[in-house]
Structure 1
Amino acid sequence: MNFIKMQGLGNDFIFIIDNKNEFIDNEIEIAKKVCDRRFGIGADGLVIIRKSNIADAKMVIINSDGSRANMCGNAIRCFAKYLYEINSIDKSIISIETGDGIKNVELKTNNNKVELIKVNMGKASFSGKDIPLRNKKELINEKVKIEGKTYKLTTLLMGVPHTILINNNDEHTIEEGRIIEKYNLFIDGTNVNFIKIIDKKNIEVRTWERGAGATLACGTGCCASVVALKKLGLCDDKVKVKTLGGSLEVEVVNDEVYMIGAADFICKGELY
């Protein structure tokens, strides 16, 4: 089985092609095996490229622990670069089928290489039914007590569930994401974003990812953080988001969320 490894802001993925749906029965085990950083290749997730009847290609994402994700911002930028440079889909706008619907991706290229990727991430939702929350209509800037500690949380669906908390004074550690992720209010768990507000145009985000733990960056987390801060009146429509793995630009236009950033190849090889 041939693979290519890619990364977006240090969020790394193993890519394999499955045009014949050959891995349906064991793709969870494949993901856990190849993502293991000691006994496998090592990655935050496995991305399977499949044919689509409604878009240019279908993206299937499985986290390193074997759980599935409907959407991943860093993965979809890598996916678009792969389609253009490896699969030779010669378009400036590519449609990608995801678990969160079809996403349209605009490519900025130079000499047949993708330099920047702009993704229409769609609209976020604060509805408790969409996230989903247990017996709660919404969670916006609300104090929640978890294992004896009080957090002020805002939760939304940005393709996948995301919870944000402002961490300007480093009062929280990234490892606290572990207990927030599995708090029983969140029916399907949640990603957790720890935010430092520099000013209304610049923020820093660290994300504890559901199913992967602390990562260098999370694309949907960056988008969710900007949407949540905008909801609270704490940022502008266009924000530069700094992560440990690099920076993204996130812009909200008429409630549509756009993410702009890069992606890179790391290596390719053969899985035994």
Structure 2
Amino acid sequence: MDFYKMQGAGNDFVFIEDFNYNIKDECELAKKLCDRHFGIGADGLVIVRKSEAANAKMVIINADGSRANMCGNAIRCFGKYVYEHKITSGNKFSVETGDGIKEIEIILESNKVKYVRVYMGNPSYDGGDIPLNNIESLIQQEIKVNNNTYNITTVLMGVPHTIIFEKDREYNVVEEGSKIEKLELFKEGSNVNFVKVIDETHIRVNTWERGAGFTLACGTGCSAAVVVAKKLGLVDKNKEIFVLAPGGELIIEVLGEDVYMKGPAEVSFEGKTSL
């Protein structure tokens, strides 16, 4: 099996093509390939398939074998993959995901892919969409976990994201994020983003991803953090916001209810696997 290893701001993925639906157990394959000791190693497996609704179809499975509807860094890598492998023509095309059709724009510099810009869709605070357990919404809700108090806002940005702004202290992403992820508030768990506002156009985001753990960047998480920061008036409502994640920088733009993400995507290496 041929594979590509790709990363977007340090969030890494194994890419394989499966146009004829030969893969029988995608989730088990993801666990094997993503294992960093016995496999290739990655935060998730991305399967490239044909689509009847768009120019290509992206299937993403987390390292633990759980499925994800959407991943911002993965879809940027997917856009670069589809463009460079000539699966579609032109620098603007559509991708079918578990979160609907996403529009992709390839931004070139000296005929090479510099950025991939993705239409991320519209955020939702509705408890039924996220989904929450018998709660209409969670916006600046105070909760207590292990004697720690948090003000949380949860939004669906392709997948559920809980946003916590750092004020008096920095948070332990692994210890605190892993506990908040599994609160009974969330029917299907939640990604957790710890956000520091630097100035009106710059924020820092550290993310705990359900199914993957601490990752160097999360595209949907960075998008959700900007959406919530704008809603709460913590950053400029009319400008692009530069988001610094441990693995690199993403640029998020909100136009009305529409959210756009722009950032890098790179090929790390390619090879063959018998897993």
Give the residue type in structure 2 aligned to 1:266: S
Q: Could you tell me which runs of 5 or more consecutive residues in structure 1 were left unpaired when the two chains were aligned.
A: none
1: CA distance between counterparts of 2:204 and 2:170?
Answer: 15
In structure 2, the residue matched to 1:100 is 99
TM-aligned CA deviation for residue 86 of structure 1: 1.8
Alignment of 1:173-252 (within 5 A): 173-175=172-174, 176-237=176-237, 238-252=240-254
Alignment of 1:133-172 (within 5 A): 133-172=132-171
2: CA distance between counterparts of 1:263 and 1:170?
Answer: 32
2: CA distance between counterparts of 1:168 and 1:114?
Answer: 37
1: CA distance between counterparts of 2:56 and 2:88?
Answer: 10
Alignment of 1:19-30 (within 5 A): 19-23=19-23, 25-30=24-29
2: CA distance between counterparts of 1:22 and 1:168?
Answer: 50
Q: Secondary structure at the match of 2:79?
A: helix
Contact (CA 8 Å) 1:174, 1:206: kept in 2 or not? yes
Q: Kindly, what percent of the aligned residue pairs are identical? A: 56
2: CA distance between counterparts of 1:84 and 1:171?
Answer: 40
2: CA distance between counterparts of 1:110 and 1:173?
Answer: 38
2: CA distance between counterparts of 1:152 and 1:136?
Answer: 16
Give the residue type in structure 1 aligned to 2:182: K
TM-aligned CA deviation for residue 88 of structure 1: 4.8
Q: Secondary structure at the match of 2:221?
A: helix
When the two structures are superposed, what TM-score results if normalisation uses the length of structure 1?
A: 0.97
Q: Secondary structure at the match of 1:252?
A: strand
Per-residue Cα deviation, 1:17-56 (whole angstroms, up to 9, x for no partner)? 0001111x31111000000000000000000001100111
TM-aligned CA deviation for residue 119 of structure 1: 0.6
In structure 1, the residue matched to 2:119 is 120
Which 4+ stretches in 1 moved above 6 angstroms? none
Per-residue Cα deviation, 1:64-105 (whole angstroms, up to 9, x for no partner)? 000011000000000000001123523121100000000001
Give the residue type in structure 1 aligned to 2:45: L
TM-aligned CA deviation for residue 136 of structure 1: 0.3
Contact (CA 8 Å) 1:191, 1:208: kept in 2 or not? yes
TM-aligned CA deviation for residue 147 of structure 1: 3.1
**Greater mean alpha carbon deviation, residues 27-36 or residues 104-113:** 104-113
Q: Secondary structure at the match of 1:259?
A: strand
Q: Secondary structure at the match of 2:22?
A: coil
Q: CA RMSD in A?
A: 1.1
TM-aligned CA deviation for residue 111 of structure 1: 4.7
Give the residue type in structure 1 aligned to 2:228: A
Q: Could you tell me which runs of 5 or more consecutive residues in structure 2 were left unpaired when the two chains were aligned.
A: none
**Greater mean alpha carbon deviation, residues 195-204 or residues 139-148:** 139-148
TM-aligned CA deviation for residue 115 of structure 1: 1.1
**Greater mean alpha carbon deviation, residues 146-155 or residues 52-61:** 146-155
TM-aligned CA deviation for residue 112 of structure 1: 4.0
